[in-house]
A = this chain, B = another copy of it.
Amino acid sequence: MLLRLAVCGLALLSLSAQDRVDLQVVQQIKAEAYERSKVMETLAGLTDRYGPRLTGSPEAREAADWASKRLISWGVQNVHLEKWGPFGRAWSVEQYAVEMVEPRYALLTAMPLAWSGGTNGAVTGEVIQAVFRDSYNPKKMAEELAKFKEKYKGKLRGKVVLLNPVQDLSPSTQGLVKRYTDAELADMAKAVGPTAKVGYDPAKTEVPEEPEKLGPFFNSLNVKGIETFIAQLYGLRGERAKFLKDEGAVAVFTADGRARDGRTAAEQAGRQEAEFPMGPPSFVVTAEHYNRLVRLAESGTAPKVRVMLKVKTEEKVDSFNLVGELPGGAKKDELVMVGAHFDSWHAGTGATDNGAGSAVMMEVVRILKSLNLKLDRTVRLVLWTGEEQGLLGSIAYVKEHFADPKTMQLTSEHGRMSGYFNLDNGAGKIRGVYVENNDAMKPVFEQWLAPFRDMGVSTVTLRTTGGTDHLAFDAVGLPGFQFIQDPLDYGSVTHHGNMDVYDHVPADDLKQASAVIASVVYHAATRAEMLPRKALPKPAE
């Protein structure tokens, strides 16, 4: 018993040596983050003034120019936009309106899907139900598409197509805003055994149909797998859009599980690449209004709808990642990176996804700079674009700077890159971190995060998380981490929706996240050694 305790003590001691937290620095960081915070001012710029920030749009570029100036004004060095591309078509909304004009007038709450084609002025059509059973399983989707084409060929000209059945709006007594309970966090802390990320074979991989299995499925894919899967899925959606356009549909209306209670949520109608034609004007309609159209059509009073959509496009544009640095000292060639995706969807202003993450990461470098803390390693901030279309910006950046996961030929920078910290799960404060099965990082994070336990940061889990830009780093064997964040109303209200706006971001949550991450980055940048890595992955298929 004693011997075991002694061994444990030694192990902890050896860790403590280089990962001891400097509590005086922590105190300074907290004071800067809470008492002199600029994070909500940054967020207002990214959202109210310059949002939304759809990748490729001139608006995203203007937002980046503003953010760059702001970083420069804080003394951040080497601020520049690093080009990647080609991305595809630039697309933004200039004006739109969706109205029911018969049997009653009603302005419908709707949102164009990105990369929809515009209308020629206002166009009016009768609605028709043409139900397409959507699926994330491309095989099922292809089968459904074949049936759909056969059934509706020649029947859609001049119509406004309702593509989904009536939506279930059973009332829920659950609150919309959620914070993790201690029990949920304890559950998250339980390791589930490492599982390597896998690729995606369009011909062989079975995509689950059950909604509850989709999350784990997406989480199981490596970056190459994500790219292949998204290309196939959006390709099929694009094929459907082409059919609807060729058939002369005036517009296409869809429902979306998140678009209810008067809200909308919208992603893209088809692929953004310039070689794919734009589809018909396509809108997500809030479920209550959508259901009204379906019920009226079913009751024999097919409503007439007037649609207007003016979009601004440019055929083939590149995109960028926004880079800035705090130069290091003794080990200035080594890197600690922080990042968040800067791009957003277009329905709201991109506040929780991911203005919040971008504002926090900008605040992190502001805090470190304004405290004039001595950093051994260079701290590099990169704000990505193209995340929403499949982590495009971070994948391009990692390939350019560190390694192509296909070949795993490493650059010299790969050897000097310590670790990457990402923030992209909404506006909620930090409750812990996913260490992505990097066992050696668990005790490191445990020590780093201990001073923030009384701010709710309790959980270091070996588990992995997916769907955001740390994956690009992990894919080439570089330590990349996403924090655990309180969900708030990210899943229930804001995700990709028209209510993803400034007011759904609580200032206290961003201040806490800024303090926590600034401290993590400071300790990573001053640690004796670079961060421990997992074994290098093999070249991906």
**CB < 8 Å: which of B175, B178, B502 contacts A295?**
B502
A174 to B145: give the CA distance in the assembly, Å.
42
A314 beta carbon closer than 8 Å to chain B: no
Which residues of A, 482-541, contact B by the 8 Å Cβ criterion?
A: 488-489, 493, 497-499, 501-504, 506
Closest B residue to A168 using CB positions = B503
Q: CB within 8 Å of B: which of A65-112?
A: 92-97, 99, 103-107, 109
Please give the distance in Å from A132's CB to the nearest CB on chain B.
21
Cα distance, A349 to B49, chains bound together (Å): 34
- Bound complex: CA of A292 vs CA of B292, how far in Å? 30
Q: Which of B59, B103, B173 contacts A178 (CB 8 A)?
A: B173
Q: How far is the CB of A485 from chain B (nearest CB, A)?
A: 14
Closest 6 CB pairs of A and B: A171-B177, A169-B503, A262-B263, A173-B175, A288-B503, A288-B501
Known A51-B104, A104-B50; contact A499-B295, beta-carbon cutoff 8 A: no
Question: Which of A104, A172, A489 has the most B CB atoms < 10 Å from its CB?
Answer: A104
Give the complex CA separation of A317 and B501 in angstroms. Answer: 43
Q: Looking across the interface, which residue of chain B has its beta carbon closest to that of A301?
A: B49
Query: At the interface, yes or no: A296 with Cβ under 8 Å from chain B?
Result: yes
| Contact of A291 with B by CB under 8 A | yes
**Does A48 have its Cβ within 8 Å of any Cβ on chain B?**
yes
A292-B498 CB under 8 A given contacts A93-B105, A173-B177 = no
Q: List 27 A-B contacts (CB under 8 A).
A: A44-B299, A48-B295, A49-B104, A49-B299, A49-B301, A50-B104, A59-B104, A93-B105, A109-B109, A169-B503, A171-B177, A171-B506, A172-B175, A173-B178, A174-B175, A176-B261, A261-B261, A261-B262, A261-B493, A261-B499, A262-B263, A262-B498, A287-B503, A289-B501, A291-B503, A292-B349, A292-B501
Contact with B along A142-178 (1 / 0, CB 8 A): 0000000000000000000000000001111111111
A179 at the binding interface (Cβ < 8 Å):
yes
Q: How far is the CB of A121 from chain B (nearest CB, A)?
A: 14
Q: What separation, in Å, do the CA atoms of A402 and B506 have in the docked complex? A: 57
Residues of B within 8 A of A169 (CB): 503-504
The reply to whether A49 and B172 contact each other, CB–CB distance below 8 Å, is: no
Q: A49-B296, A261-B493, A503-B291 are in contact. Are A97 and B105 (CB under 8 A)?
A: no
Q: How far is the CA of A450 from the CA of B419 in the complex (A)?
A: 69
Question: How many copies of this chain are found per oligomer?
Answer: 2
Cα A320 to Cα B500 in complex, Å, equals: 44
Q: Which residue of B lies closest to A178 (CB)?
A: B173
Q: In the complex, are the beta carbons of A499 and B262 less than 8 A apart?
A: yes
Chain A residues in contact with chain B, CB under 8 A? 44, 48-51, 59, 92-97, 99, 103-107, 109, 169-179, 261-264, 287-289, 291-292, 295-296, 299, 301, 349, 488-489, 493, 497-499, 501-504, 506
The answer on a CB contact under 8 Å between A499 and B49 is no
> Which residues on B sit within 8 Å (CB–CB) of A170?
506
Q: Which residue of chain B has the shortest Cβ distance to A501 in the bound complex?
A: B288
- Give the most central of A44, A96, A105, A504: most B CB within 10 Å: A105
Q: What residues on B are CB-neighbors of A99 within 8 Å?
A: 95
Residues of B within 8 A of A501 (CB): 288-289, 292
**B107–A96 touching, CB < 8 Å:** yes
Known A44-B299, A299-B44, A502-B295: A488·B171 in contact at CB below 8 Å: yes
Q: What residues of B have a CB within 8 angstroms of the CB of A109 in the complex? A: 109, 262, 498
Q: Given A96-B107, A262-B499, output 14 extra A-B contacts at Cβ < 8 Å.
A: A49-B296, A49-B299, A49-B301, A95-B105, A109-B498, A171-B504, A173-B178, A175-B176, A176-B176, A176-B261, A261-B499, A262-B264, A262-B497, A295-B502
Cβ-defined contact, A94 with B105, below 8 A: yes
Shortest beta-carbon distance from A497 to chain B in Å: 8
Question: What separation, in Å, do the CA atoms of A174 and B498 have in the docked complex?
Answer: 22
Once the chains are docked, how many angstroms separate the CA of A174 from the CA of B178?
A: 10
Chain B residues whose C-beta falls within 8 Å of the C-beta of A104 in the assembled complex = 49-51, 59
Residues from chain B with Cβ under 8 Å of A301 in the complex: 49
Assess the A502–B262 pair: CB atoms within 8 A. no
Given contacts A109-B262, A262-B263, A262-B498, contact A295 B493 (CB under 8 A): no
Contact of A489 among B92, B171, B174 (CB under 8 A): B171
Q: Look across to chain B and name the residue whose beta carbon is closest to the beta carbon of A292.
A: B48
In the bound complex, residues from chain B placing their C-beta under 8 Å from that of A175 are: 172-176
With A95-B105, A499-B262 already in contact, the answer to whether A295 and B44 are too (CB < 8 A) is: yes
Shortest Cβ distance from A507 into chain B, in angstroms? 11
CA separation between A93 and B106, bound complex, in Å? 9
Query: Please, which residues of chain B bring their CB within 8 A of the CB of A97?
Result: 97, 107
A504 to B170, CA, bound (A): 8
A309–chain B nearest beta-carbon distance, Å: 11
Decide if B173 touches A48 in the complex (CB within 8 Å): no
Q: Which of the residues B171, B261, B292, B506 comes within 8 Å of A263, measured between beta carbons?
A: B261
CB-defined contacts of A50 to chain B, threshold 8 Å: 103-104
Q: Is the CB of B288 within 8 A of A504?
A: yes
**Closest-CB distance, A499 to chain B (whole angstroms):** 5
